[in-house]
């Protein structure tokens, strides 16, 4: 392993494991402390011309082009871990040879060439680790690949992201179903729309989307990143997974606006109907013998791969498979067979047809479909019409009252899901999983005192994969709401029983500095110290970048990233696009929101008519680039430290200023005004107890100040004072070690 690679991997791991920095990387970061403006940081670390960095969009683009050589050299020489001031949309324009030349200069041509071979697997930076504690501190970036069009562009985008954000979560990567929703898996095949023609033309051997995904994960590993996949407890309602395995799902029979049957083993009738279709239409694939009966065809002994090829055709023939699937859906429709749609929120169970006219849909084939609703809904009751959840347990009283018998798990279904997600992990060498809809807990009595591997599907998948990869982490999608609201029982208790390592939380759904935000932030810190999993300081998710949530990102965005990076003992999550997101006082066109690329809709209020458009917020991108450069210098010195709060989040929201340093060895003081609308004045920060001999702290960096002196904080032997912090301003002070 080269010295450059060792240095890169070292820093990527230090935050998570407390490893000491290797000698190779320290010269790049040991500098005298000064008041670091964005221009100073760019000049000091990247050796750029001493001139102001522009804060308007056209000039920022020109700035990159004028200084690309110096910035790229700094990256290749290890003086920077990313390409600051390179806008994401410009990175996506890089040619494949240019990207590989940049990476080879930093990590070595041999390693990069090895990574481009899909027959090889570049080891994870976590290889050999036997704990998942790393994910409880990692800074994660979430990428909806559809927004940047293909897997190869993930590598280009990550050139703009510093190694302090060392984990990459790829939103669902499988073939999508209805409205092309990423979360509605149509099969276990990788989404063909993520294939890069550009990469194929440069490397003709990378002629499938599967090979390209392997190469992208290899390259991310080679650059010290960890990579995560989604584990989804449901599929598209009419996916190949459902149609090829009826027994692993729940079924109903509908006639017009009435459910005529939802008995527990209705899947047996569906299996007969599917087999009858196969005999009538004939096999989709030659050379595979058709079994004598449905029982044999759907038995555990009959290979699923052969069953799917007989029903739908070759995995490589996407058009043929879609056609056959449509024919089979039509055949089942005539008999009224439908998979039961997935639900969310108590009481989860008890469905009826929604008889309102707006719930009636006629498709292009003239088929009449109906939406469903919970018979006795509560506030958060939802029915997800396009999705079907795995049937993990048997039913009470033949499902007469829609009751689940949690004492009777269905082992074959659990094994089916666990085996497939394990195969995906093994094939592509993923390091962690995001558990989609991890908040689901259907037991009306709440979270049980004992929980085995049949308690929760995500828990089971995690345990299955960890037998081979002990470091494989579980990042849960839950929002930390009150008991009994979105799930039965206490969500915090559920996460512990499900063996979650970290969870998303909901700070992204609140205005930074608002009373709600302050209360939840403080609560998350309590959870961090008292529970076995870590809440994330979530900045933005791909699912929250939506016109409905514009108000959350009008102000305070510098404070969000600053807090996420420098709270070294708390994980964070940031979605692609946040770094240059425009403020939207009124809704922007749909093409400016990543959420609207989770699905693909061509008409109506959620339609998109072209590729995703990155924001043009040059002022924000300028400030965040400078902030990331400051993190380059500081984080290697404190990455394994715990947080010592001086002004913790005030749950009463009487004050919106927070301040913290490191334990046990304070080196930097971080101060943030979380109020994005008003400046804070006359701020008092208590001194560190038992640290009387510390020198006065000096101003090291500000997100909002251009220029200035290396000011010392006034001190009265009890408190430090800051006279004024601008709205949303963040500062770093150094104790001068």
pLDDT of residue 171: 98
Helical pair 96-107 and 3-17, crossing angle rounded to 10 deg: 80
Q: Cβ-count burial of 527 within 10 angstroms (0-12 exposed, 13-18 middle, 19+ buried)?
A: middle
pLDDT of residue 294: 97
**Going by C-beta distance under 8 Å and a sequence separation of 6 or more, which residues neighbour residue 508?**
538, 539, 540, 541, 544, 552, 573
What is the spatial distance between Cα 496 and Cα 480, in angstroms, rounded to a whole number?
A: 12
Q: What is the mean pLDDT of residues 337-344?
A: 98
**Helix (H/G/I), strand (E/B), else coil: 518:** helix
pLDDT of 583 over the 60 cut? yes
Is 286 within a domain?
yes
pLDDT of 706 over the 50 cut? yes
Is 278 within a domain?
yes
pLDDT of 55 over the 90 cut? no
Which residues is 339 bridged to in the sheet?
251
Q: Pick from 374, 403, 432: which residue ends a domain?
A: 403
pLDDT (tens digit per residue) in 622-670? 999 999 999 999 999 999 999 999 999 999 999 999 999 999 999 999 9
pLDDT of residue 707: 56
What pLDDT band is residue 737 in, cutting at 50, 70 and 90? low
pLDDT of 691 over the 60 cut? yes
pLDDT of residue 708: 53
Average pLDDT, the chain: 92
pTM equals 0.94
Is 12 within a domain?
no
pLDDT of residue 45: 53
Instruction: Of 575, 441, 460, give the one whose Cα is nearest residue 144.
Output: 575
Instruction: Of 628, 630, 618, 625, give the one whose Cα is nearest residue 36.
Output: 630
What pLDDT band is residue 26 in, cutting at 50, 70 and 90? very low
Q: Pick from 403, 424, 455: which residue ends a domain?
A: 403
Distances (CA, A) of 445 to 193, 348, 380, 489: 44, 13, 18, 7
Q: What is the mean pLDDT of residues 499-510?
A: 98
Is 669 within a domain?
yes
Q: What is the 3-state secondary structure (H, E, C) of 132-160?
A: CHHHHCCEEEEECHHHHCCCHHHHHHHCC
pLDDT of residue 244: 98
pLDDT (tens digit per residue) in 291-315? 999 999 999 999 999 999 999 999 9
Listed in sequence order, the DSSP H helices in 47-203 are: 57-76, 88-91, 96-107, 109-115, 145-148, 152-158, 197-202
Is 654 within a domain?
yes
What pLDDT band is residue 391 in, cutting at 50, 70 and 90? very high
DSSP assignment letter at 553: G
What is the domain range of residue 666? Answer: 640-734
What is the spatial distance between Cα 445 and Cα 150, in angstroms, rounded to a whole number?
A: 45
What is the spatial distance between Cα 56 and Cα 64, in angstroms, rounded to a whole number?
A: 12
Is 294 within a domain?
yes
Q: How many domains does the chain have?
A: 2
Is 616 within a domain?
no
pLDDT (tens digit per residue) in 244-283? 999 999 999 999 999 999 999 999 999 999 999 999 999 9
pLDDT of residue 33: 31
Q: Pick from 403, 423, 446: which residue ends a domain?
A: 403
Is 506 within a domain?
no
What pLDDT band is residue 5 in, cutting at 50, 70 and 90? very low
Q: If you count DSSP H runs as helices and E runs as strands, how many of each does the chain have, helices first? A: 21, 30
Provide DSSP, 196-215. Answer: -HHHHHH-TT--SHHHHHHH
CA angle 458, 397, 273 (to 5 degrees): 75
Where residue 687 sits, what CATH number does that domain have?
A: 2.60.40
User: Which residue has better confidence, 55 or 554?
Assistant: 554
């Amino acid at each position: 392993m080269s010295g450059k690679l060792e240095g890169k991997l070292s820093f990527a791991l230090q935050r998570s494991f407390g490893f000491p920095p290797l000698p190779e990387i320290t010269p790049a970061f040991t500098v005298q402390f000064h008041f670091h403006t964005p221009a100073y940081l760019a000049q000091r670390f990247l050796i750029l011309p001493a001139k102001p960095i522009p804060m308007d969009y056209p000039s920022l683009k020109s700035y990159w082009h004028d200084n690309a050589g110096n910035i790229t050299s700094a990256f290749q020489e290890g003086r920077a871990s990313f390409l600051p001031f390179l806008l994401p949309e410009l990175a996506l324009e890089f040619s494949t040879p240019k990207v590989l030349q940049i990476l080879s200069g930093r990590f070595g041509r041999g390693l990069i060439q090895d990574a481009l071979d899909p027959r090889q697997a570049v080891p994870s930076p976590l290889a050999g680790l036997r704990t998942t504690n790393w994910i409880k501190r990692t800074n994660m970036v979430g990428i909806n690949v559809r927004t940047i069009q293909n897997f190869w562009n993930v590598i280009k985008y990550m050139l703009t992201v510093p190694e302090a954000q060392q984990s990459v979560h790829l939103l669902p990567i499988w073939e999508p179903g209805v409205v092309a929703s990423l979360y509605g898996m149509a099969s276990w095949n990788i989404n063909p729309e993520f294939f890069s023609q550009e990469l194929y033309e440069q490397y003709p051997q990378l002629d499938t989307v599967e090979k390209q995904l392997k190469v992208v994960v290899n390259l991310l590993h080679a650059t010290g990143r960890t990579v995560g996949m989604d584990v989804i407890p449901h599929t598209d309602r009419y996916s190949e997974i459902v149609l090829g395995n009826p027994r692993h799902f729940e079924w109903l029979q509908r006639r017009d606006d009435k459910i005529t049957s939802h008995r527990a083993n209705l899947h047996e009738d569906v299996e007969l109907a599917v087999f009858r279709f196969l005999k009538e239409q004939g096999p989709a694939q030659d050379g595979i013998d058709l079994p004598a009966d449905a029982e044999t065809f759907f038995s555990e002994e009959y290979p699923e791969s052969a069953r799917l090829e007989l029903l739908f055709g070759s995995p490589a023939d996407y058009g043929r498979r879609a056609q056959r699937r449509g024919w089979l859906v039509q055949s089942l429709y005539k008999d009224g067979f439908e998979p039961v749609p997935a639900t969310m929120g108590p009481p989860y169970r008890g469905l009826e047809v929604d008889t309102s006219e707006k719930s009636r849909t006629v498709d292009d084939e003239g088929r009449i479909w109906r939406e469903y609703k919970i018979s006795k809904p509560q506030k958060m009751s939802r029915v997800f019409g396009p999705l079907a959840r795995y049937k993990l347990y048997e039913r009470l009283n033949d499902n007469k009252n829609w009751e689940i018998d949690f004492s009777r798990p269905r082992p074959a279904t659990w094994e089916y899901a666990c085996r497939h997600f394990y195969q995906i992990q093994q094939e592509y060498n993923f390091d962690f999983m995001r558990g989609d809809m991890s908040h689901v807990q259907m037991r009306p009595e709440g979270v049980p005192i004992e929980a085995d591997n049949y308690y929760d599907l995500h828990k089971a998948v995690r345990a299955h994969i960890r037998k081979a990869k002990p470091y494989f982490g579980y990042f849960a999608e839950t929002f930390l709401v009150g008991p009994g609201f979105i799930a039965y029982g206490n969500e915090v208790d559920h996460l512990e029983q499900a063996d979650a390592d970290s969870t998303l939380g909901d700070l992204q759904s609140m205005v930074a500095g608002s009373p709600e935000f302050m209360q939840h932030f403080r609560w998350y810190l309590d959870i961090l110290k008292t529970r076995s999993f870590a809440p994330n300081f979530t900045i933005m998710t791909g699912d929250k970048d939506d016109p409905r949530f514009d108000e959350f990102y009008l102000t305070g965005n510098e404070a969000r990233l600053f807090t996420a990076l420098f709270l070294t003992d708390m994980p964070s999550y940031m979605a692609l696009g946040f770094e240059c997101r425009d403020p939207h006082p009124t809704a922007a066109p749909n093409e400016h929101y990543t959420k609207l690329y989770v699905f693909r809709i061509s008409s109506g209020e959620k339609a998109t008519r072209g590729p995703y458009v990155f924001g043009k917020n040059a002022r924000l991108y300028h400030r965040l680039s400078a902030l990331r450069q400051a993190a380059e210098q500081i984080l290697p010195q404190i990455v394994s430290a715990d947080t010592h709060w001086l002004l913790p989040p005030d749950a009463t929201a009487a004050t919106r200023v927070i301040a913290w340093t490191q334990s046990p060895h304070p080196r930097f003081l971080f101060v943030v005004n979380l109020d994005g609308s008003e400046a804070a004045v006359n701020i008092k920060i208590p001194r560190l107890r038992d640290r009387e001999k510390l020198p006065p702290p000096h101003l090291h960096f500000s997100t909002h100040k251009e220029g200035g002196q290396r000011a010392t904080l006034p001190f009265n032997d009890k408190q430090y004072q800051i006279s004024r912090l601008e709205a949303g301003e963040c500062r770093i002070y150094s104790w001068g070690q």
